[in-house]
């Protein structure tokens, strides 16, 4: 089982980045793919959750700027980030959560413990 993020980098405020999470070793139909971000010394923040069963959730703080989508044929999940702000600077991780476990949390999907994690990709937004 493997999740590999790509697409991070340095961008100026107002710019866009598209992160990709390539998954292998399991079927996307059985898992939700979450995106989280974290800075050193700060709590991990859930950004989005995508599953075939429950659809898509994006946290209110970024829902006007970020979207997530999947490409089942390529077994990838993307996080499109527009109008980036310096406060978006963080390491971004994708993670896979078993759908059975996820259902217990409903709209608090970010509380479900992922089964698998990617290695993270750094996003830096300059002002």
Which of these, 59, 56, 33, 57, lies nearest to 45 by C-alpha position? 59
State the maximum Cα–Cα separation within the chain, in Å, rounded to a whole number: 42
Q: Is 63 in contact with 49 (CB distance < 8 Å)?
A: no
Q: What is the pLDDT of residues 103-117, one digit of tens each?
A: 888 889 999 999 999
Alpha helices (H) along the chain: 99-103
Tell me the pLDDT band of 53, cut-offs 50, 70 and 90.
confident
User: Is the pLDDT assigned to residue 119 strictly greater than 90?
Assistant: yes
Tell me the pLDDT band of 54, cut-offs 50, 70 and 90.
confident
Q: Residue 88 to residues 16, 44, 55, 111: CA-CA distances in angstroms?
A: 11, 13, 24, 21
Which of these, 85, 52, 79, 49, lies nearest to 66 by C-alpha position? 79
């Amino acid at each position: 089982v493997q999740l590999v993020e790509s697409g991070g980098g340095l961008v100026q405020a107002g710019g866009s980045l598209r992160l990709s999470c390539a998954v292998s070793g399991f079927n996307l139909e059985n898992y939700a793919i979450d995106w989280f971000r974290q800075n050193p010394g700060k709590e991990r923040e859930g950004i989005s959750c995508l599953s075939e069963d429950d659809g898509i959730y994006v946290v209110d703080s970024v829902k006007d700027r970020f979207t997530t989508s999947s490409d089942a044929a390529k077994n990838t999940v993307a996080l499109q980030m527009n109008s980036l702000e310096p406060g978006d600077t963080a390491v971004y991780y994708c993670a896979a959560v078993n759908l059975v476990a996820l259902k217990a949390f409903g709209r608090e999907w970010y509380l479900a413990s992922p089964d698998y994690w990617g290695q993270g990709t750094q996003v830096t937004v300059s002002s």
